[in-house]
Amino acid sequence: MKTFAIIPAAGKSKRTGLSIPKQYLRFNNKELIAYTLEAFQKNKSVDEIIIAAHPDYFSLLEKIKKKYKLTKINKIIKGGKERQDSVYNALLSIDANKNDLVAVHDAARPLLPQKVLTNAIITARKNGNALVCIRARDTLIRGTDIVESYLDRDEVYYVQTPQVFRYHDLMRAMELAYAADFYGTDESMLIKNLGLKINIVRGALCNFKVTTMEDIEFLQHYFKK
């Protein structure tokens, strides 16, 4: 059983307002996506890495691959308009058996611990899939301008990545979503629509997704330390 890592990296980072996508920003003179890719390069359970990106950045990604000896990168392919499209394009590009695993991970989550990645893959091998999450720690409310109700935080999780699924299941979920003209915010939402149970694996606070300028400033401070 092989494990393929898919890194959707075609996003334009509209929420940061920067001139280049955040995954190509440099921290300590090293691109953010390079840190992300290294987590999968180092992990013994990962066999191949596929990056779905905008063609404008293919050359840069090839340079990153060579500079940091990211030998597991098998393909750099054209991403799609939405994250779902990028993941689907990557799925179509790989030569996988139906029970091989596919781990999808955000390009802008550079601090993925090896333990979290390994546990997710082990769980998926055993139970068919794995969804990395962290349990909510703060008081949660529902409302707009005023508090309408409180949520039980013991039943609420923040979803992270990687999300690991059997190749056949993820491909079926994608095809079903496109047939229904449905776009999910992540792959687990598509898998849930198949009626499959999804296994929760403990994530880590450091495994956050760089989304806003505040996140970028925090990461700059982190790498300086």
The reported pLDDT for the residue numbered 17 is: 63
In the predicted model, what is the mean pLDDT of residues 31-57?
A: 97
pLDDT tops 90 at residue 49:
yes
Q: Which domain holds residue 67?
A: 3-224
Task: Give per-residue pLDDT as tens, 111-137.
Answer: 999 999 999 999 999 999 999 999 999
* Total domains present in the chain: 1
CATH number of domain containing 165? 3.90.550.10
Token pair listed for 75: 């393909």
What pTM value is reported for the model?
0.94
pLDDT, tens digit (0-9, with 9 covering 90-100), for 158-216: 999 999 999 999 999 999 999 999 999 999 999 999 999 999 999 999 999 999 999 99
Long-range contacts of 78-84 (CB under 8 A, 24+ apart): 78/10, 78/52, 78/53, 78/54, 79/8, 79/9, 79/10, 79/52, 79/53, 79/54, 80/10, 80/52, 82/183, 83/8, 83/10, 83/11, 83/186, 84/174, 84/177, 84/183, 84/184, 84/190
Give tens-digit pLDDT for 12-32.
755 556 779 999 999 999 999
Q: What is the pLDDT of residue 225?
A: 74
